[in-house]
A and B are shown apart, each in its own frame.
Chain A
């Protein structure tokens, strides 16, 4: 059974600092891994999708890496801004879709 873990559950950083969010999964047989952002009371917004054959994906200040052999993905957000405050979730797609519990991020001005 796939288990996806995101540690820490919450993170607070000053504005301008780089953010590093971790996602670990137990079953490396995945099609892809996707990172989402969720604002309070809102739905999930897709940030980046990494196919199993890829090592990383980049979009603006966001960079996500994938290491299937170690069962890890990392989301980097460069030069954080208060608008980056949200909960970030990762989802591993194998035979089932499994979400991590999320990391709640607060970027302080």
Chain B
């Protein structure tokens, strides 16, 4: 089982560029999440999708958009990257609900915006 797969693993963007971070899970999970992890700030929820076809804002959604393409895939888009979006991004999935079951994480995408 691959679990949760994120691509790319590393990315450098110039300010104003756009990009999409991809996430896919093969565990038939209903819920998927995008987090960012910053030194001293811990993990913060950007957006989540409780089920296919639904998305909701998390703690820090500004500057991001998401798409729940199907049950397997949940993408995160930066329309106009800013240096403040330099971070490590993690995708996660759970069986159902906001936290009723065990969460599984991808390996992360290290994004630098210059």
Q: Interface residues, chain A, CB within 8 Å of chain B?
A: 30-32, 34, 36, 41-46, 49, 89, 91-97, 99-102
Sample of 20 A–B contacts (CB below 8 Å): A30-B99, A32-B100, A41-B108, A43-B90, A44-B103, A45-B105, A46-B102, A46-B103, A46-B104, A46-B105, A91-B99, A91-B103, A92-B99, A93-B98, A94-B98, A96-B45, A96-B58, A97-B45, A100-B42, A101-B42
What 1/0 mask marks residues of chain B from 16 to 47 whose CB sits below 8 Å from any chain A CB? 00000000000000000100000010111100
CA distance A37 to B98 in the complex (A): 20
CA distance A102 to B44 in the complex (A): 13
CA distance A42 to B9 in the complex (A): 10
Chain B interface residue number, banded: 20 to 34
Find chain B residues with CB under 8 A from A34 CB. 99, 102-103
Find chain B residues with CB under 8 A from A97 CB. 33, 45, 98-99, 103
What 1/0 mask marks residues of chain B from 81 to 111 whose CB sits below 8 Å from any chain A CB? 0000000001010000111111111111010
Supposing A99-B43, A101-B42 touch, asked if A43 and B107 sit within 8 A by C-beta, the answer is yes
CA distance A43 to B97 in the complex (A): 22
Which of B44, B101, B103 has the most chain A CB atoms closer than 10 A to its own CB? B103
Contact between chains at B105 and A44 (CB < 8 Å): yes
Find chain A residues with CB under 8 A from B101 CB. 49
Find chain B residues with CB under 8 A from A93 CB. 98-100
Find chain B residues with CB under 8 A from A89 CB. 42-43
Find chain B residues with CB under 8 A from A30 CB. 99
Contact between chains at A94 and B103 (CB < 8 Å): no
Supposing A89-B43, A97-B45, A99-B42 touch, asked if A43 and B99 sit within 8 A by C-beta, the answer is no
Nearest opposing residue in chain A for B45, CB measure: A97
Find chain B residues with CB under 8 A from A31 CB. 97-100
CA distance A32 to B99 in the complex (A): 7
Nearest 7 CB-CB pairings of A with B: A93-B99, A99-B43, A44-B105, A43-B107, A43-B105, A101-B42, A49-B102
Measured between C-beta atoms, what is the minimum distance from B42 to chain A in Å? 5
